């Protein structure tokens, strides 16, 4: 029953993101609205991490399976891409490296900030 409640919370937030996507005139994906709503709810304490943690971990575990359908459809589209494959590969590699570098830097900054904050609290 616990997992069903956690799934309902996540689904409700996803639904709110979909509704915001329909209401607001911005070209922001509904999933981003949902993630921002969940982040704000977690940071403000409206939703406790324990209320969604196990189901979120499950979703993270099965995430690779969700990429199978797009990968298979890419196989169908590959012949149509023809001469565009090299620019697409270059863009993919460069953007992946940039995302990894930025994510690493942000993670390091957050960890450093957390350590500094922990030292100040201990003093």
At residue 100, the pLDDT reads 97
pLDDT at site 39: 94
81 HSE (CA, 13 A, CB side): 12
Tens-of-pLDDT digits for all 123 residues of the chain?
899 999 999 999 999 999 999 999 999 999 999 999 999 999 999 999 999 999 999 999 999 898 888 888 888 888 888 788 889 889 999 999 999 999 999 999 999 988 887 776 666
pLDDT at residue 6 in the model: 95
Give the pLDDT of residue 117: 75
Alpha-carbon distance of 54 to 78, in angstroms, equals 38
Does pTM surpass 0.75? no
Name the burial class of residue 38, with classes exposed (0-12), middle (13-18) and buried (19+) by CB atoms within 10 angstroms of its CB. Answer: buried
């Amino acid at each position: 029953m616990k997992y069903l409640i956690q799934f309902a919370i996540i689904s409700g937030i996803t639904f709110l993101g979909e509704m915001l996507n329909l209401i607001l005139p911005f070209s922001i994906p509904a999933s981003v609205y949902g993630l921002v709503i969940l982040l704000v709810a977690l940071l403000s304490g409206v939703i406790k991490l324990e209320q969604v943690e196990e189901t979120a971990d499950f979703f993270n575990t099965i995430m690779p399976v969700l990429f199978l359908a797009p990968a298979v459809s890419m196989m169908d589209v590959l012949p149509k891409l023809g001469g565009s494959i090299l620019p697409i590969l270059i863009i993919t590699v460069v953007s992946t490296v940039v995302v990894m570098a930025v994510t690493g830097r942000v993670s390091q900054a957050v960890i450093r900030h957390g350590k500094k904050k922990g030292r100040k609290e201990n003093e």
